Amino acid sequence: MPIINVKVSRPADPQLTRQIADTLLALTTRILRKRRDLTAITVDYVPPEHWVVGGRTLAEQGLSSFYFDIKVVDGTNTKDEKAAYIAACFAAFQELLGPLHEESYIHVHDVREQAYGYGGLTQEHRYIQQRLAAAG
């Protein structure tokens, strides 16, 4: 955990997928302090002629764009950490994709621990189990 869903205005490219994944893993681990081994990333590609901003395609504008959302447990990151993460990710994508349309988005979802989990267990359940094990 977390899960990161990425959309990029490019034709599908396995090398770019690897670069995006490596970049997001590094930034998510360093800035948001998330475990690398529990971070999942999906990358979808949208042709620039199918991505429209302000009534014009990105192909017409000669720009790239991206969108990604990341889900983290509420309260595990500060406002400053999230702001630093958004700034660092935008800069990294600009390096990966070249000139970006300003309308490129990053959405950090703070989700409740009782409504989020993996492996069939909520994060709240994992927290309680850890506390019980530590006390016992």
Tokens of 3: 């899960």
Residue 2: asked if its preceding bond is cis (omega within 30°), the reply is yes
CA pair distance 8, 104, nearest whole angstrom: 9
Q: What is the mean pLDDT of residues 125-132?
A: 87
Whether residue 1 is predicted with pLDDT greater than 90 in this model: the reply is no
Higher pLDDT, 9 or 113: 9
pLDDT in tens, 42-77: 999 999 999 999 999 999 999 999 999 999 999 999
Q: What is the mean pLDDT of residues 17-43?
A: 97
- Return mean pLDDT, the chain: 95
**pLDDT-derived band at 127, boundaries 50, 70, 90:** confident
The whole-number pLDDT of residue 123 equals 86
In the chain, pLDDT over 70 holds for what percent of residues? Answer: 100
CB of 105 closer than 8 Å to CB of 67: yes
Backbone angles phi, psi at 71, to 5 degrees: -105, 125
Per the DSSP assignment, residues forming a β-bridge with 110 are 72
Q: What is the mean pLDDT of residues 31-49?
A: 97
Whether residue 8 is predicted with pLDDT greater than 90 in this model: the reply is yes
In the chain, pLDDT over 90 holds for what percent of residues? Answer: 83
